[in-house]
Amino acid sequence: MQTDPLTNTTKPSTDATITVRVIKSFEYRNSKNLVLHHIDLETTSIDELLTLCLQQISSAPGWKTFQNVALGQHLESR
């Protein structure tokens, strides 16, 4: 019996698709998944990834309720 290869082994690490869970409120359990395509996992830093996420949230439709929240504060304080 032959199985299909997993998609995470067929695509190169220089062209990845990742899902980032953006949490607006732990108390009210408000979160949303942000899917980022064509990410180079070998050269993209955490700061670049955070910047890319914030750019997507500020410009993509459907993220209006997340635009007034201070996201990434715990990462910027390191």
Per-position b or e across 3-25, b if 16+ CB within 10 A of its CB: eeeeeeeeeeeeebeeeeebeee
What confidence tens digit (pLDDT) does each residue in 1-37 have?
A: 678 777 667 778 888 899 999 888 778 888 899 999 9
pLDDT at residue 38, as a whole number:
93
User: Is the pLDDT reported for residue 51 higher than 80?
Assistant: yes
pTM here is 0.72
Map out the domains of the chain as residue ranges. Answer: 7-76
Tell me the average pLDDT across 69-73: 69
pLDDT at residue 76, as a whole number:
52
